[in-house]
Structure 1
Amino acid sequence: MQVLEQRFGRLFQQYRDRVYRTAFYVVKDPHLAQDVTQETFLKAYRNIDSVREDGREGAWLTTIATHAAIDAVRKRNCWNGIPMENPYLTVLVGTTESDVEEEVGKRLEREHLWKEITKMKREYREVLILKLHSGLKDGEIACLLKVSVGTIKSRVHRAKRILRKASGCWHG
């Protein structure tokens, strides 16, 4: 038992920031991201004996965090796409109105795309998040999800096509 606890402690120290960033990227709320991070590590602790130490622990934790964050957003049924806390307002001081409008437009577009991503089938949603947000390569995603690289490429292509339909201005 002590070996598993030491391993978990190492994983926590090594990946807690990455898990938090993944969660925050999806939920856009620092408190909710902390909750998702905690939930991710609870799930990881319960299943730590099922993961080999082969360098993929970070991808494994990122996948857990991504799923937990999407679930949290669904439970809340809202997005904090445009935060209006004081730090955000401070950043805006001194910018021109057109800069603010452009930034708000970009944030609204990202919010719309994330809403569309959360509506997708799980297989499309997870490959997009793992590829675009986590920066994993097709081969890494295929290995993590235990499917072929061709399947990953097909899912990414289909997911992008869904997003293009949802928003004519996205061509990623």
Structure 2
Amino acid sequence: MAGRGSSPSSRRPTGRRDGRSTPRTTARPQAAPVASSGGSGTRFTTRALILLGVAVMLIASYTTSVHAWWQQRSEIAALEAQNRQTQQDIAQLEDQERRWSDPAYIRQQARERFGWVMPGEIGYRVIGVDGELKGQSSTLEEPEVAPRRPWVERLWGSVEAAGTPDRAAEPTDADPELETDE
């Protein structure tokens, strides 16, 4: 009797129940199950590790490219918004320039802002009980006053100014009013 370890030629041919013999086929070797060395974990081969490394490098390179693309798209969107705002500002300034080139608009602004009237017109202003103007009044901006310097600096400044001749006091040849009669 042939055991498990015997060669296929030493085996007896098996037949069918009807007595005919079946042709022999060559047995294909079955893949032996991979024995894991340490429990139920998967075993990585060198080829799998290289493939994993290449995949990680591709992901890293594409991630930086996508990040740069995304950042540039956001910069473009911000610049386009700034461009639209600038175009609106330009349109407003052009409209304002067009208005100021119209003499009727200038007269209207002079009437509204400064209370001016045309020759022959009479302008009225309503003053309240408290002495303040009622209604719309023009407001002019106060000129900026330089901070007052200490008296010592002002005194020294006048000494320095006294040492320099005043050019407005000097007579010139072109001004006939400043000529003296001799």
Normalised by the length of structure 1, the TM-score is: 0.21
Larger radius of gyration, structure 1 or 2?
Answer: 2
TM-score by length of 2: 0.20
Structure with higher helix content? 1
